[in-house]
Amino acid sequence: MDEDQLVTAYREARKHLAENSEWTQALLVGVADEISCGSTSSVELFALSDVASGYLHDLRNELNLWRHDIARLAAWADVMAKRSDAEKLSLRIEFVGAIAEGSLSRPYAIKQRLIFTAYRLLELTLPAKAGGQRPDDEVNRAALERLVGRQPAWKDFFCGLDLINAKEFERDTMGFRTGLHHHIPPSVELGVRGTVNRRRIDGGVSYGFGTTKPLAVKTVVAPLLNEHAAAVHAFRMLCERIRALYVEVSTREGAC
C-alpha cells in the first residue's frame, strides 16, 4: 500500500466531506453554549461557577473531538471502499480500528459524564445539613433522579439523556460498544466471528453454530451523527438547568 497515495486519498475524502456535508460543521458546540454565571459573591456561588465552568468545558471539548472523529471515520470509510481486503486490514490496524472503537464508545461515556456533571453541580446547591458529597463510583442516573426528586424542570434533561445510547443505536451498530466492554464485539470491516450456542433439550444438549458478520464502517456514520446530535441537545439542556440553579442560589442568598 503506497502511503503517499493513502494520505492523498484521505485528504481528498476529508475535503469532499467539508464541501458537501453540512454536518461536519453544524454540530460543533461553540463557546456560547457554555454557562456564564456572571459575578460570584459567595463561596457557594463561586464553587458552582468554578466547577460548572470546568466540567462543561471538558464536555464541550469531548463533543467537538467526537464530531471530529466521526468525520475522520467517514473519510476513511470512503477510502476503504476503494481498497483491497489486504489494504483494508492495514488501514484498520493503523487508523480505523481505534477511531471506530473510540467513536462507538462515546455515546455511553458522554451520557455518564452528563449524569455525573449534573449530579455534582446539583449537589453543590444542597443545604449544608445535607452533608458531604457522594463518592464518584456511586454517582449514576438513579442517584441523580433521587437527588432531583419530583422537580419538573429536569424533565427535558432526562428526556435528552434517553435519546443517547438508546436501543436503536445498539441495534444499528450490532451491539459493538457492549461487546467491546463486556464480551466480544463484531470485527470492524473485515473478519467473520464464529459463534456457538449451547442449550438443553429433551434427552441431552443441542449446539448451534453460526457467525457474526463484521461491522461495516460506512454503516455506523449515520447512527453516530444521530447520537452526537442527541448528546449536544442534552448538553444544552444541562446548561439551561445550571443557569437556573445559579439564579436559584443567587436569589436564596440575596446575591442578585
Residue 212 lies in a domain: no
Amino acid 30: pLDDT: 64
pLDDT digits 0-9 by tens, 93-118: 888 999 999 999 999 999 999 999 99
Q: What are phi and psi of 39, to 5 degrees?
A: -75, 155
Residue 208 lies in a domain: no
Write out residues in the chain with pLDDT < 70, as ranges: 1, 25-41, 127-132, 253-256
Residue 226 lies in a domain: yes
Full-model pTM: 0.85
Number of domains forming the structure of the chain = 1
Residue 75 lies in a domain: yes
Enclosing domain of residue 131: 3-186+217-253
Burial of 43-70, coded b for 16+ CB within 10 Å and e otherwise, reads ebbeebbebbeebbeebbebbeebbebb
